Chain A
Amino acid sequence: MSILSLFVLIPLLTITGIMLSRSHNMVRWVALTGMFAQLITSIIVLFSYFAFREAGFTTPMLFYQDIEWFKTLNIHYTVGVDGISVALVLLTSVVIFAGVLASWEVEYLQKEFFTSLILLATGVFGFFISLDLFTMFLFYEIAVIPMYFLIGIWGTGPKEYSAMKLTLMLMGGSALMMVGIFGLYFNSATDGNFTFNILEIAKVYIPKDVQLYFFPFIFVGFGVLGAIYPFHTWSPDGHASAPTAVSMLHAGVLMKLGGYGCFRVAMYLLPEAANTLGWIFIILSTISVVYGAFGVIWQKDLKYINAYASVSHVGLITFALMMMNKISIDGAIIQMISHGLTTALFFALIGMIYGRTHTRMIDEMGGLMKVIPFLSVCFIIAGLSTLGLPGFSGFIAETTVFIGAFQHHDLFHQIASIFVVSSIVISAVYVLRMVGIILFGPIKNEHHLSLKDAKWFERLSAGTLVVAITGIGVAPLWLFDTIKESLIPIVERLNGFGNLYTHIF
Chain B
Amino acid sequence: MMNLQDFLPMRHEILLLFVVVLILLGEIFMPEKSKHYLINISIILFFLHTIVGFLPVQEGKLFGGMFQNDLFRSTLKNILNIGVFIVFLQSSAYIRKEENKGKISEYFLLLLSTLIGMYFMISSGDFLMFYLGLELATIPLTALSAYDKYKNISAEAGIKLLLISALSTGVLLYGVSMIYGTTGSVYFTDVATNFGKDSLQILGFIFFAAGMGFKISLVPFHLWTADVYEGSPIGITSYLSVISKGAAVFIFMIVLYKVFASITEIWNVLIYILAVSTMTIGNLFAIRQNNMKRFLAFSSIAQAGFILLGIIGSNTIGITSTMYFILIYIFTNLAAFGVVSAIYNASGKEDMRDYNGLYKTNPKLCLLMMLALFSLAGIPPVAGFFAKFFLFTSAASQGYYILILIAVINATISLYYYLRVVKAMFIDPNDNPIPFFKTDITAKIGLVICTIGIFVVGFISSIYEVFSKLTTLL
How many angstroms from the CA of A160 to the CA of B397 in the assembled complex?
38
**Which residues of B are found within 8 Å of A139, using beta-carbon distances?**
380
Is there an interface contact between B396 and A186, defined as CB atoms closer than 8 Å? yes
Is there an interface contact between A138 and B404, defined as CB atoms closer than 8 Å? no
Is there an interface contact between A145 and B374, defined as CB atoms closer than 8 Å? yes
User: Is A63 in contact with chain B by the CB < 8 A criterion?
Assistant: no
How many angstroms from the CA of A149 to the CA of B397 in the assembled complex?
35
**Which residues of A are found within 8 Å of B426, using beta-carbon distances?**
149, 152-153
| B468 closest partner in A (C-beta) | A72
Is there an interface contact between B464 and A175, defined as CB atoms closer than 8 Å? no
Contact with A along B362-394 (1 / 0, CB 8 A): 000000000000100001110001000110110
B412: contacting residue among A134, A175, A183, CB under 8 A: A175
How many angstroms from the CA of A163 to the CA of B423 in the assembled complex?
10
Contact with A along B405-441 (1 / 0, CB 8 A): 1001101100110010011001100000000000000
- Interface-centre pick from B405, B408, B411, B415 (highest chain A CB count, 10 A): B408
User: Is A70 in contact with chain B by the CB < 8 A criterion?
Assistant: yes
User: Is B465 in contact with chain A by the CB < 8 A criterion?
Assistant: yes
How many angstroms from the CA of A379 to the CA of B393 in the assembled complex?
49
**Does more than half of chain A's interface fall in helix, strand or loop, or is it mixed?**
helix
User: Is B461 in contact with chain A by the CB < 8 A criterion?
Assistant: yes
Is there an interface contact between A186 and B397, defined as CB atoms closer than 8 Å? yes
Is there an interface contact between A141 and B408, defined as CB atoms closer than 8 Å? no
Q: A71-B465, A72-B464, A168-B412 are in contact. Are A179 and B379 (CB under 8 A)?
A: no
| B422 closest partner in A (C-beta) | A148
Is there an interface contact between A167 and B415, defined as CB atoms closer than 8 Å? yes
| A159 closest partner in B (C-beta) | B427
**Which residues of B are found within 8 Å of A148, using beta-carbon distances?**
419, 422
Q: A72-B464, A153-B427, A185-B396 are in contact. Are A176 and B408 (CB under 8 A)?
A: yes
Is there an interface contact between A73 and B393, defined as CB atoms closer than 8 Å? yes
User: Is B308 in contact with chain A by the CB < 8 A criterion?
Assistant: no
User: Is A172 in contact with chain B by the CB < 8 A criterion?
Assistant: yes
Which residues between 123 and 166 of chain A lie within 8 Å of chain B, taking CB atoms?
134, 137-139, 141-142, 145, 148-149, 152-153, 159-160, 163-164
**Does more than half of chain B's interface fall in helix, strand or loop, or is it mixed?**
helix
Is there an interface contact between B379 and A183, defined as CB atoms closer than 8 Å? no
Q: A145-B374, A153-B427 are in contact. Are A168 and B415 (CB under 8 A)?
A: yes
Q: A153-B427, A160-B427 are in contact. Are A142 and B416 (CB under 8 A)?
A: no
B side interface size, CB within 8 A:
32
User: Is A106 in contact with chain B by the CB < 8 A criterion?
Assistant: no
**Which residues of B are found within 8 Å of A73, using beta-carbon distances?**
317, 390, 393, 464
A side interface size, CB within 8 A:
34
A178: contacting residue among B381, B392, B427, CB under 8 A: B392
User: Is B320 in contact with chain A by the CB < 8 A criterion?
Assistant: yes
B394 CB, min distance to chain A CBs, angstroms: 10
How many angstroms from the CA of A175 to the CA of B380 in the assembled complex?
13
User: Is B344 in contact with chain A by the CB < 8 A criterion?
Assistant: no
Is there an interface contact between A152 and B423, defined as CB atoms closer than 8 Å? yes
User: Is B401 in contact with chain A by the CB < 8 A criterion?
Assistant: yes
How many angstroms from the CA of A137 to the CA of B389 in the assembled complex?
10
B380: contacting residue among A142, A159, A182, A185, CB under 8 A: A142
B416: contacting residue among A149, A168, A186, CB under 8 A: A168
**Which residues of B are found within 8 Å of A178, using beta-carbon distances?**
389, 392, 404, 408
| B459 closest partner in A (C-beta) | A69
Which residues between 436 and 486 of chain A lie within 8 Å of chain B, taking CB atoms?
none
Is there an interface contact between A152 and B427, defined as CB atoms closer than 8 Å? yes
A70 CB, min distance to chain B CBs, angstroms: 4
Is there an interface contact between A141 and B317, defined as CB atoms closer than 8 Å? no
Pull 21 A–B residue pairs with CB atoms less than 8 Å apart, ordered by A: A71-B465, A138-B380, A138-B381, A141-B385, A148-B419, A149-B426, A164-B416, A171-B415, A172-B412, A175-B411, A175-B412, A178-B389, A178-B404, A178-B408, A179-B396, A182-B396, A183-B396, A183-B401, A185-B393, A185-B396, A186-B396
Q: Which residues of A contact B (CB under 8 A)?
A: 69-73, 75, 134, 137-139, 141-142, 145, 148-149, 152-153, 159-160, 163-164, 167-168, 171-172, 175-176, 178-179, 182-183, 185-186, 213
- When A and B form their complex, which 10 residue pairs have the shortest distance between CB atoms, in order from nearest? A175-B408, A182-B396, A70-B461, A138-B380, A72-B468, A152-B427, A172-B412, A141-B380, A171-B412, A175-B412
Given contacts A142-B380, A171-B415, 7 further A-B contacts (CB under 8 A): A72-B465, A72-B468, A73-B393, A73-B464, A134-B389, A171-B411, A175-B412
